[in-house]
């Protein structure tokens, strides 16, 4: 529902804070796939905040914050 609200607003930027946090794995996958399609096919800017490394690994860019410092990740830890 939150994605539909964001799209209805007409904004081209979607801020998703832990969008899969309360979802089961299958529905979480669906949400991430919708967000990826919006970014890659519909040209939305999608910013996802997550602690889930599986989601981060599928992202185009990854930034991390430690002790209040934001840094771009070159490669995710294995």
Tell me which residue of 63, 12, 53 sits closest to 32, measured CA to CA.
53
- Give me the pLDDT at residue 71, please: 94
Does pLDDT of 78 surpass 60?
no
Contact 20, 32 (CB under 8 A): yes
Q: What is the pLDDT of residues 6-55, one digit of tens each?
A: 899 999 999 999 999 999 999 999 999 999 999 999 999 999 999 999 99
Query: Rounded to two decimals, what is the model's pTM?
Result: 0.84
Domains in the chain, number: 1
Which structure tokens are listed for 19? 């969008």
Kindly report the CATH number assigned to the domain that includes residue 41. Answer: 3.40.50.300
**Three-state DSSP state, 48:** strand
**Any idea what the Cα angle at residue 38 is, between residues 66 and 36, rounded to 5°?**
50
Residue 13 lies in a domain: yes
Q: Flag whether 8 is in a domain.
A: yes
Phi then psi for 36, rounded to 5 degrees? -65, -40
In a domain, 77, yes or no: no
């Amino acid at each position: 529902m939150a994605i539909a609200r964001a799209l209805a607003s007409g904004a081209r930027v979607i801020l998703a804070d832990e969008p899969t946090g309360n979802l089961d794995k299958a529905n979480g996958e669906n949400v991430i796939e919708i967000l990826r399609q919006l970014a890659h096919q519909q040209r939305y800017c999608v910013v996802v905040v997550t602690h889930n490394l599986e989601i981060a690994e599928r992202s185009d860019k990854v930034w991390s914050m430690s002790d209040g410092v934001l840094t771009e990740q070159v490669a995710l830890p294995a």
